[in-house]
Amino acid sequence: MNKDLLLYEKSQPGRRTLRLGRLDVPAADLSALPAGALRRTPPDLPELGELELVRHYVRLSKKNVSIADSFYPLGSCTMKYNPVLNEAATAIPGFNAIHPLQDSGRVQGALAVMKRVADALAAVTGLPGVTLHPAAGAQGELTALLVAHRHFVETGQKQRKMVLIPDSAHGTNPASASIAGLQAVEVASGPDGLVDLDDLAAKLGEDTAVFMITNPSTLGLFETKIAKISEMVHAAGGLVYMDGANLNAILGVARPADFGVDMMHINLHKTFSTPHGGGGPGAGPICVTQELERYLPSPRVVEEEGGLRLDYDTPYSIGMLRGWAGNFGVLLRAYCYIRRLGAEGLLRVAQNAVLNANYLRVKLRGAFHVPYDRMCMHEFVCNTKNQREQGIHAVDVAKRLIDLGHHPMTIYFPLVVSEAMMIEPTETEAKETLDAFVADMLLIAEEAKHEPEKLHAAPVTTPVGRLDEGRAVKDPVLCYTCSH
Ligand SMILES: Cc1ncc(COP(=O)(O)O)c(C=O)c1O
């Protein structure tokens, strides 16, 4: 928020108020603030009627494609389901009008929500130490690697600096390793898309800190040898980190601690219906073994006689990674989802996620090449190998989907599959929606054969056609008052 909005003192005899836009909020004592920090005149804010404001936001929303418009088969890390009921909970004043510095005696309800979310995550992962601090999955990765590093320093093994990462991993994994001051080392995948155990064995050693594995992987495959892999990593003295972005595929079916995982992050926006937040402000809590718990960021919610409080007395903690103890509004949304579904409903999440992905894989495999064509988890990867002769690329299929009213799938990721099209329907889509998508994908496959120019020209139904995407990233035209 613009700080101009915050520090405007409205002088009225005998009463001091903070003026927040047009809302007068009785304030406590402002005398502690330096006189120079207080406004003498009101900020020059635009005066708008409700209708103008509503029209402005509706106009903006119409420019965006969202889950409210159409199916969103984007793969990797994107749940896309943000139930309206979650928003209602966050509007409750007892939740949205509190401050992290309030005395814990006055925010017991909020602390209870945080504690219950942490307990639920510990239950589904089997890992008892939970921090709710990280603002995104990537920040969870960084947090866990800092925790691992602190553990190795404390146990006299600070030479352990290598982070082994499979080649199918999300780019945030090696990035987190390097931000943590560690070194990323790539581990090859075998022809089955799973970790090549010989390559892993050759790279494990006294310098191994962590093996960082995404399970199920970004290829949508469950790492069937995960227990053996964990054994190998532990035998070499390393820790197993699981990128839990894809936890929705195994929720309530398998607990990562049971197959040897020591630490993991959970993308609440992927598994527990919260908004993604573009890398934050979202939430990517991490769960760790009891042995690693004391290194987690501070503060954490603890229970003691008389209630809950935030505990700052944490001498081994890596410290604070971000302000306060977590992104409360996001945690609250996850809590609503967890409570609405219960243990049985959470298990159905995994079952439906896997069923829906396999339904699409089987329906599409005749038309598009599926490099790892076997039972998949929450997503699968296909490509345009069958359309190569017509000069059709993944981007052409994706753009044509826009004309047919669907959001495109993720393309060109994971990097280990050329012309990758990564499709994730998610657990929350109906069969009718999946069938409509299949029909359009099959139509595109036919068009690729007979009218390839139609795919090359797509999209034709959007205000702008094909963009120079490289340039759009480097030289964006950002204009918030545009009416076109
Ligand atoms: C496998 C995987 N790991 C990590 C991340 C990072 O998560 P976030 O976007 O919350 O930082 C993502 C998603 O972007 C992902 O797909």
Give the pLDDT band of residue 482 (cuts 50, 70, 90).
Answer: low
Same domain, 360 and 327: no
283 in any annotated domain: yes
83 in any annotated domain: no
Residue 434 has pLDDT above 80, yes or no: yes
Lowest-confidence region among 12-16, 170-174, 324-328, 474-478: 12-16
For residue 172 and ligand 1, the question of a CB distance below 6 A is answered with yes
Q: How far apart are CA 427 and CA 435, in angstroms?
A: 15
Q: How many CB atoms lie within 10 A of CB 290?
A: 9
- Residue 151 host element (H or E): helix 137-154
- Judge contact between 220 and 410, C-beta under 8 A: no
Q: What is the pLDDT of residue 484?
A: 45
Give the pLDDT band of residue 341 (cuts 50, 70, 90).
Answer: very high
Same domain, 333 and 384: no
Q: How far apart are CA 204 and CA 249, in angstroms?
A: 28
Strand 239-243 and strand 263-265: pairing?
parallel
Q: How far apart are CA 340 and CA 6, in angstroms?
A: 37
Nearest-CA neighbor of 397 among 416, 420, 376? 420
Average pLDDT, integer, range 126-152: 97
Residue 4 has pLDDT above 90, yes or no: no
- Residues 385, 425, 226, 205, CA torsion sign: positive
- Judge contact between 321 and 143, C-beta under 8 A: yes
Greatest Cα-to-Cα distance within the chain, rounded to the nearest angstrom: 81
| Residues 262-305 pLDDT 10s | 999 999 999 999 988 654 578 999 999 999 999 999 999 999 98
Give the number of the atom of ligand 1 that is nearest the alpha carbon of residue 136: 10
CATH number at residue 166: 3.40.640.10
Give the number of the atom of ligand 1 that is nearest the alpha carbon of residue 76: 16
Could you tell me which residue, 3 or 449, shows the higher pLDDT?
449
- Residues 38, 40, 44, 45, CA torsion sign: positive
Give the number of the atom of ligand 1 that is nearest the alpha carbon of residue 139: 11
Last-in-domain residue among 305, 339, 373: 339
What's the per-residue H, E or C state across 276-317?
Answer: CCCCCCCCCCEEECHHHHHHCCCCEEEEECCEEEEECCCCCC
Q: How far apart are CA 357 and CA 423, in angstroms?
A: 8
* 66 Cα distance to chain centroid: 17
| Residues 36-58 pLDDT 10s | 888 888 888 888 899 999 999 99
Average pLDDT, integer, range 205-209: 98
Q: How far apart are CA 4 and CA 7, in angstroms?
A: 6
Average pLDDT, integer, range 106-111: 96
Q: What is the pLDDT of residue 351?
A: 98
Please list, in sequence order, all residues whose beta carbon lies within 8 angstroms of the beta carbon of residue 440, skipping any fewer than 6 positions away.
401, 404, 405, 406
Q: What is the pLDDT of residue 322?
A: 86
Same domain, 19 and 123: no
Same domain, 299 and 279: yes
- Judge contact between 428 and 366, C-beta under 8 A: no
Mean pLDDT for the chain overall: 91
Residue 248 has pLDDT above 70, yes or no: yes
Average pLDDT, integer, range 230-249: 98
Residue 473 has pLDDT above 60, yes or no: yes
Same domain, 12 and 157: no
- Judge contact between 167 and 189, C-beta under 8 A: yes
Pocket test for ligand 1, best of 141, 172, 212 (most atoms within 8 A of CB): 172
Same domain, 303 and 237: yes
Q: How far apart are CA 411 and CA 381, in angstroms?
A: 9
Q: How many CB atoms lie within 10 A of CB 390?
A: 17
Same domain, 112 and 236: yes
CATH number at residue 400: 3.90.1150.10
Same domain, 301 and 152: yes
Residue 20 has pLDDT above 80, yes or no: no
Nearest-CA neighbor of 220 among 187, 198, 196, 194? 194
Average pLDDT, integer, range 306-314: 94
Q: How far apart are CA 413 and CA 171, in angstroms?
A: 10
24 in any annotated domain: yes
Q: What is the pLDDT of residue 184?
A: 98
Could you tell me which residue, 230 or 474, shows the higher pLDDT?
230
- Judge contact between 183 and 159, C-beta under 8 A: no
Q: What is the pLDDT of residue 32?
A: 78
88 in any annotated domain: no
- Residues 48, 54, 55, 61, CA torsion sign: positive
- Residues 347, 353, 359, 361, CA torsion sign: negative
Q: How far apart are CA 393 and CA 407, in angstroms?
A: 17
DSSP state of 45: P
Pocket test for ligand 1, best of 267, 412, 413, 415 (most atoms within 8 A of CB): 267
Highest mean pLDDT among 96-100, 431-435, 459-463: 431-435
Q: Please give the distance, rounded to the nearest whole angstrom, from the Cα atom of residue 424 to the centre of ligand 1.
A: 14
Residue 397 has pLDDT above 80, yes or no: yes
Cα separations in angstroms, 181 against 9, 141, 145, 150, 209: 46, 13, 9, 12, 12
Burial class (CB in 10 A: 0-12, 13-18, 19+), 23: exposed
Residue 17 has pLDDT above 50, yes or no: no
| Residues 350-383 pLDDT 10s | 999 999 999 999 999 999 999 999 999 999 999 9
Q: Please give the distance, rounded to the nearest whole angstrom, from the Cα atom of residue 247 to the centre of ligand 1.
A: 12
Q: Count up the domains in the chain and report the number.
A: 3
Same domain, 373 and 449: yes
Quote the domain boundaries for residue 307.
Answer: 93-339
Average pLDDT, integer, range 1-22: 41
202 in any annotated domain: yes
Q: Please give the distance, rounded to the nearest whole angstrom, from the Cα atom of residue 245 to the centre of ligand 1.
A: 6
Q: How far apart are CA 282 and CA 288, in angstroms?
A: 20
Q: What is the pLDDT of residue 232?
A: 98
Give the pLDDT band of residue 9 (cuts 50, 70, 90).
Answer: very low
84 in any annotated domain: no
Q: What is the pLDDT of residue 10?
A: 41
Same domain, 326 and 400: no
Residue 468 has pLDDT above 50, yes or no: yes
Q: What is the pLDDT of residue 480?
A: 59
| C-alpha count within 13 angstroms, C-beta hemisphere, residue 322 | 20
Same domain, 283 and 317: yes
For residue 319 and ligand 1, the question of a CB distance below 6 A is answered with no
458 in any annotated domain: yes
Tokens of 279: 């890398």
pTM as predicted: 0.87
Same domain, 231 and 357: no
Give the pLDDT band of residue 439 (cuts 50, 70, 90).
Answer: very high
Residue nearest to atom 15 of ligand 1 (CA): 77
Q: Please give the distance, rounded to the nearest whole angstrom, from the Cα atom of residue 218 to the centre of ligand 1.
A: 10
Residue 432 has pLDDT above 60, yes or no: yes
Roughly how many angstroms between the first and final C-alpha of the chain, as a whole number? Answer: 26
Helices (H), 155-285: 172-179, 197-203, 226-235, 268-271
Gyration radius of the chain over CA positions: 25
Last-in-domain residue among 45, 64, 81: 45
Average pLDDT, integer, range 395-409: 96
Q: What is the pLDDT of residue 69?
A: 86
| Residues 216-237 pLDDT 10s | 999 999 999 999 999 999 999 9
Angle at which helix 108-125 crosses helix 328-364, to 10 degrees, equals 30
Average pLDDT, integer, range 311-316: 95
- Judge contact between 286 and 130, C-beta under 8 A: yes
- Would you mind telling me the total number of residues written for the chain in this entry? 484
| Residues 148-179 pLDDT 10s | 999 999 999 999 999 999 999 999 999 999 99
Q: What is the pLDDT of residue 27?
A: 57
According to DSSP, the residues that pair with 243 across neighbouring strands are 214, 265
82 in any annotated domain: no
Q: How far apart are CA 93 and CA 91, in angstroms?
A: 6
